[in-house]
Amino acid sequence: VRRLAPYVGMLRGGLDVRAVKGRSGETRLIEVALQHRDPQVATRIVNTIVKIFARLNQERRRESGATTGEFIQRRIAELQAQIRADKQRLIDYGKRHQFIALEPGQDTVLARLVGLNNELLTAENDLKLAEAEKEASLAPEVVEVTALGASAGLEGRRNDLLQKRAELLVENTEEWPPVKELDGQIAELDKQIKIIRERAGTTLTTNLTKRYRQAKEREQKLRASYEQQRRETIVQNEAAINYHIIEQEIGTNEGLLKDLYLRMGENEAKLAGIGQMPNNISVLDYAQVPGQPIGPKRMQNVALAFVLSLGAGIGFAIFLSFLDHSIHSIDEVERKLHLPALGAIPLIGSSTRRHLLPGVGALQRRNGNGNGHGRPLLVNDDVRSPVAEAYRHLRTSVLMSVAGRAPKTLLVTSSQPSEGKTTTVVNMAMVLAQTGASVLVIDADMRRPSLHSIFNLENDRGLSTYLSSGMSDAEAFSMIEQTGESNLYVLTSGPPPPNPAELLGSEPMHRLIKSVESAYTHIIIDSPPVAYFTDSVLVSLLVDGVLLVVNSGSTSREIVRHSRKVLQDVGAKIFGVVLNGVKEDSTHEYYYSRGYY
């Protein structure tokens, strides 16, 4: 089997069997084709396959007939045994339940139940009639009528004696002996009439009561006999149902047995004539050796692969674009965030030459600026670079964001960490200081302060010291340090406090902002991300406006919308968005390249 496996796999891979379709649909024709490098081999294999298939079909028909005959014989034996067992079970069941007659109309148990029911109905009517007569006999008028009927003869004799006495009194007195004799007879009749009347009522009631009792006893006996016969009838009916079920099973099996005998005869006749019967599968047209090859179609396959690859690439690109919810361009800022875009800071490549200022290394090791670079001071590297030009453009946009005057105080924040807000604060302050204005940078990010590392300053005291210790404004001004010989001043955050949000929302913070407004042209405040802390929300109420930094390609639109809503809900004025780390192809419409200079 293992030795022939490669050849079998070759046949399965190249063999093609399909039904031939005509104009009206499916036909009874089958086409067999095989792809092989040698046309002679392909032709011989296909013709051999169809010949073997036709011969196997004839053999299978013969085997199928033999198998069918064996199955029928086995099934006949099973049915015969089952029929014998069911008949014996039917006989035993009839004996056990004492069936006398099972034919329709010969059920004596049911007939007896019907007779008892009729007798019970008659007994119930007799009982009702006897009870009614008994109740009626108790009425006084009935008793009196009965007594009058019983003493009617004596009353007639008494009336005759009274009439005779009256005739004697016409001529005689009451003392006359015949009259006295008549009085004695009348008195005796009165006694007899009274006795008869009393006995007549009692006799009537006794007779009716006895009749009622007899009717009731008969009704009770008939009812008991009826209930017993009813129970016997129910048992008999259940037994009869089961008896008929067994009979039906025997009848069904006998019918199946008869059909199997017929099938067995047909199958034997079929087996006897199967050798002379023609095969129902025949070869209509044998394969001929092809004159030319049919494949492979290289150009078609290459073109198809190119189209499929192109479609897959486009679909994958669309899928990635659908999954990307970040902001990539200034147009998306204005269209999807509904905020003005004040500037776009280009992405800095790692190959660009940089001159690190003293004290910058610490920040470079601690955190990034969200711009693809570890350094925050960019405008001093090359004043003619696209980055420096971008920050000068941002400076112009911020100065013109308030009608009639330049904003005095500015809060710079972001939605989440590492978006470049501190880099924006530093470079924005430097380009503002280049105009000759005095600029104060306040590090209000007391959770992760970094301005002291950028400018190489001490941070043992600063904003947190002033807000928590109740210092005077003069002492606060004494903590402000000037960076070199420029117009840029820095108030560091000071030691991290346990409650930065409470300090930034306190009255000393409000007083500090009012104090430094008169001393400096611009005040820029660096604060923690809006989506994580409430520090920026509290400080936004103390400044002229807020600058929201968004990192291109990484910040989700949803989190920026959340930050915008948080700030707008408290009444903060958002000047606009600074899109940081933008690729050059997204900023060409706003900034000139180095070739312009």
- Map 293-355 to HEC letters: CCCCCHHHHHHHHHHHHHHHHHHHHHHHHHHCCECCCHHHHHHHCCCCEEEEEECCCCCCCCC
Among 32-46, 93-107, 237-251, which stretch is predicted with the lowest mean pLDDT? 93-107
Q: Quick check: 381 pLDDT over 60?
A: no
Q: Quick check: 36 pLDDT over 90?
A: no
Residue 139 gets which letter from DSSP?
S
Per-residue model confidence (pLDDT) at position 540? 93
> How far is C-alpha 20 from the geometric centre of its chain's CA atoms?
46
Higher pLDDT, 259 or 18: 259
Mean pLDDT calculated for residue range 387-391:
88
Per-residue model confidence (pLDDT) at position 517? 93
CB 567 within 8 A of CB 537: yes
Q: Quick check: 351 pLDDT over 50?
A: no
Per-residue model confidence (pLDDT) at position 364? 35
Per-residue model confidence (pLDDT) at position 590? 45
Q: Which residues contact 525 (CB under 8 A, 6 or more apart)?
A: 409, 410, 411, 412, 441, 442, 444, 539, 543
pLDDT in tens, 120-144: 888 888 888 877 777 766 655 555 5
Per-residue model confidence (pLDDT) at position 236? 74
Among residues of the chain, what percentage have pLDDT more than 90? 25
Instruction: Considering the domain delimited by 328-348+356-591, tell me its CATH architecture.
Output: 3-Layer(aba) Sandwich (3.40)
Bond prior to 296 in cis (omega within 30° of 0): yes
Per-residue model confidence (pLDDT) at position 52? 84
pLDDT in tens, 211-223: 888 888 888 888 8
Mean pLDDT calculated for residue range 328-350:
81
Among 115-129, 147-161, 198-212, 427-441, which stretch is predicted with the lowest mean pLDDT? 147-161
pLDDT in tens, 527-574: 999 988 999 999 999 999 999 999 888 888 889 989 999 999 999 999
* Residue pointed to by tokens 């000139």: 592
Per-residue model confidence (pLDDT) at position 522? 95
Cα distance between residue 53 and residue 591, in whole Å: 79
Which of helix, strand or coil describes residue 590? coil
Cα distance between residue 115 and residue 104, in whole Å: 18
Q: Quick check: 286 pLDDT over 70?
A: yes
Residue 338: pLDDT band by 50, 70, 90 thresholds?
A: confident
* Range 93-96, long-range pairs (CB < 8 A, 24+ positions): 93/239, 93/242, 93/243, 93/246, 94/243
Q: Quick check: 94 pLDDT over 80?
A: no
What are the start-end ranges of the H helices in 98-176? 108-137, 140-150, 152-171
Higher pLDDT, 161 or 595: 161
Q: Which residues contact 65 (CB under 8 A, 6 or more apart)?
A: 267, 270, 271, 274
Higher pLDDT, 431 or 198: 431
Of 234, 248, 244, 230, give the one whose Cα is nearest residue 94.
Answer: 244
Q: At what angle do helices 177-273 and 39-97 cross, to 10 degrees?
A: 160
Per-residue model confidence (pLDDT) at position 405? 85
Mean pLDDT (the chain) is 79
Per-residue model confidence (pLDDT) at position 107? 59
Q: Quick check: 596 pLDDT over 50?
A: no
Q: Quick check: 407 pLDDT over 70?
A: yes
Residue 372: pLDDT band by 50, 70, 90 thresholds?
A: very low
Cα distance between residue 521 and residue 527, in whole Å: 20
Residue 376: pLDDT band by 50, 70, 90 thresholds?
A: low
pTM of structure: 0.48
Per-residue model confidence (pLDDT) at position 509? 93
Q: Quick check: 358 pLDDT over 50?
A: no
pLDDT in tens, 48-61: 888 888 788 777 77
Per-residue model confidence (pLDDT) at position 144? 58
Among residues of the chain, what percentage have pLDDT more than 70? 81
When mean pLDDT is compared over 28-42, 93-107, 402-416, the highest value belongs to: 402-416
Residue 464: pLDDT band by 50, 70, 90 thresholds?
A: very high
Cα distance between residue 292 and residue 588, in whole Å: 60
Tokens of 316: 């994958």
pLDDT in tens, 490-536: 999 999 999 999 999 999 999 999 999 999 999 999 999 998 899 99
Mean pLDDT calculated for residue range 85-96:
82
CB 115 within 8 A of CB 230: no
Cα distance between residue 12 and residue 449, in whole Å: 72
CB 529 within 8 A of CB 416: yes
CB 222 within 8 A of CB 123: yes
Per-residue model confidence (pLDDT) at position 402? 82
Per-residue model confidence (pLDDT) at position 360? 34
Per-residue model confidence (pLDDT) at position 383? 61
Q: Where are the domains of the chain?
A: 10-292, 296-325, 328-348+356-591
Higher pLDDT, 98 or 127: 127
